[in-house]
C-alpha cells in the first residue's frame, strides 16, 4: 500500500527537493506551508520535476491546530517530515521570541495533532548548529550540544522534547537529522534556493551577486582560528539531504524511541574557498568585503557522517563544485527566482 507523508514546510528549499525525492520513490505527498519564506510556485515545479503531482497542499501555519486537524482528518498520514521553521542564525539573535514561538511552538502543535490523530512516525529537521562552538571536529552525534544562538537553541529544545516524549509514548518513533549546510539546486534547474528578501545563506547570495541582483558578499569575520580566518562549514548538496530524508522513512521502525543522525560530507570549506569555487563555476567575479563577526556564529562545523553510513548505507554523493554548478544553473535559468 502506498504510504502518505505529510511534509511541513514542503515548499521551502529543502522541503521542495525532498518532495521530489518522495514522489519519485512512489510516496503520496501532502504539504503544509505558510509561504512565509517560500513560494507556491515551488510546488508547481515539484510536480513538473517529479512527473506527478502532490496529493494536496495546505497554506497554513504549522502552529494552527485547526489547520493541522483538517490535514490529518483528510488524509491517512503514515509519517511526517517536519521542516517548517525559521532558520537564520543572525535573525534569531535579533528576534529570539519569534524563533521560540515558531520553531518550538510549531513542533509541539504538530506533535499534539499527530498524537490526536494516531500518527506516531516523525522525521525531524534538526541542525548541526546545536553543537555550537565545537573544540574538536569532525562532529559525531555524541559531541556535546552547546548552542550559541536562539535558532540552535530551538532545535536543541525540540530534540529534548522529542526524546522525552518518546520515553513516555512508546508508540512514537522519531529520527532527528542534524544536517550541516545544504546548498545547490536540482540539476534540471526548476528548483533551487529562492529565499524572500535578502538571503541568509551564502550560496544564494553568491548566485544573486553573479547574476547581477546584488553587489557584494559580506564575509562575517576573517579572524577565526581557521586556515584563512573565515568560517568553515560542511556544505552538503540539497539532493543528498533530500535523499537522506527519504532513506530515513525506510528506517523509522528500526529501533524504538528517538535516534539522531548527522547528514554531512565530512569535509569543510571556508567562506573564501566557497567564493573561489563559485567564481570558477560561474566565470563571474564575486566581490566581497570583510565585516565584523556575526553574533552567534562559530568557527567550524564539520560532520562525521560515519554513523548514518554504517546504519543505512547513506553517504553524500556531491562535492562543492557540483553544489556551485547546480545553484548557478538554477539562478541563470531563473534570474528572478520564482518570480516574486
- 162 C-beta neighbours (distance < 10 Å), count: 23
pTM for this prediction: 0.97
Confidence band, pLDDT 50/70/90 cuts, at residue 279: very high
Per residue in 112-140, pLDDT tens?
999 999 999 999 999 999 999 887 899 99
pLDDT over 80 (residue 1): no
Q: Out of 27, 58, 99, 151, which one is annotated catalytic?
A: 151
CA separation for the pair 113, 177 (Å, rounded): 21
Per residue in 252-271, pLDDT tens?
999 999 999 999 999 999 99
pLDDT over 90 (residue 17): yes
Q: What is the mean predicted confidence (pLDDT) over 45-73?
A: 98
At 196 the pLDDT is 85
C-alpha distances in angstroms, 241 versus 45, 66, 265, 305, 335?
A: 19, 30, 10, 12, 24
CA separation for the pair 37, 54 (Å, rounded): 20
- What grid cell was written down for 73? 482528518
Our answer to whether residue 27 is catalytic in this structure is no
Does residue 76 come out as left (phi exceeding 0), alpha (psi in the -120 to 50 range) or beta? beta
At 189 the pLDDT is 96
Q: What is the mean predicted confidence (pLDDT) over 2-28?
A: 98
∠ CA 203-268-137, rounded to 5°: 135
At 320 the pLDDT is 98
Q: What is the mean predicted confidence (pLDDT) over 177-187?
A: 96
Amino acid at each position: 500500500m502506498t504510504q502518505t507523508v505529510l511534509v511541513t514546510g514542503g515548499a521551502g528549499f529543502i522541503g521542495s527537493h525532498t518532495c521530489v525525492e518522495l514522489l519519485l520513490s512512489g510516496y503520496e505527498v501532502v504539504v503544509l506551508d505558510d509561504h512565509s519564506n517560500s513560494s507556491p510556485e515551488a510546488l508547481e515545479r515539484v510536480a513538473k520535476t517529479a512527473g506527478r503531482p502532490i496529493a494536496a497542499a495546505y497554506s497554513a501555519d504549522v502552529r494552527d491546530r485547526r489547520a493541522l486537524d483538517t490535514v490529518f482528518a483528510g488524509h491517512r498520514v503514515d509519517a511526517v517530515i517536519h521542516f517548517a521553521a525559521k532558520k537564520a542564525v543572525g535573525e534569531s539573535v535579533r528576534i529570539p521570541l519569534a524563533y521560540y514561538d515558531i520553531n518550538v511552538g510549531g513542533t509541539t502543535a504538530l506533535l499534539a495533532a499527530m498524537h490526536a490523530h494516531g500518527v506516531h512516525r516523525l522525521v525531524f529537521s534538526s541542525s548541526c548548529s546545536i553543537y555550537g562552538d565545537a573544540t574538536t571536529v569532525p562532529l559525531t552525534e555524541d559531541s556535546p550540544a552547546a548552542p550559541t544562538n536562539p535558532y540552535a537553541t530551538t532545535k536543541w529544545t525540540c530534540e529534548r522534547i522529542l526524546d522525552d516524549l518518546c520515553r513516555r509514548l512508546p508508540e512514537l518513533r522519531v529520527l532527528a537529522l542534524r544536517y550541516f549546510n545544504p546548498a545547490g539546486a536540482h540539476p534540471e534547474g526548476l528548483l533551487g534556493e529562492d529565499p524572500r528578501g535578502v538571503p541568509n545563506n551564502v550560496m544564494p547570495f553568491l548566485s544573486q551577486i553573479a547574476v547581477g541582483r546584488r553587489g557584494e558578499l559580506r564575509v562575517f569575520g576573517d579572524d577565526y582560528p581557521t586556515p584563512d580566518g573565515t568560517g568553515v562549514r560542511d556544505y552538503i548538496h540539497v539532493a543528498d539531504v533530500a535523499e537522506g530524508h527519504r532513506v530515513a522513512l525506510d528506517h523509522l521502525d528500526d529501533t524504538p524511541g528517538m535516534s539522531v543522525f548527522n547528514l554531512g560530507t565530512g569535509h569543510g570549506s571556508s567562506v573564501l574557498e566557497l567564493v573561489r569555487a563559485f567564481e570558477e563555476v560561474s566565470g563571474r567575479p564575486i566581490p566581497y568585503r570583510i565585516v565584523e563577526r556575526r553574533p552567534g556564529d562559530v568557527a567550524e562545523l564539520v560532520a562525521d557522517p560515519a554513523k548514518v553510513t554504517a546504519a543505512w548505507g547513506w553517504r553524500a554523493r556531491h562535492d562543492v563544485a557540483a553544489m556551485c554548478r547546480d545553484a548557478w544553473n538554477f539562478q541563470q535559468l531563473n534570474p528572478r527566482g520564482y518570480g516574486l
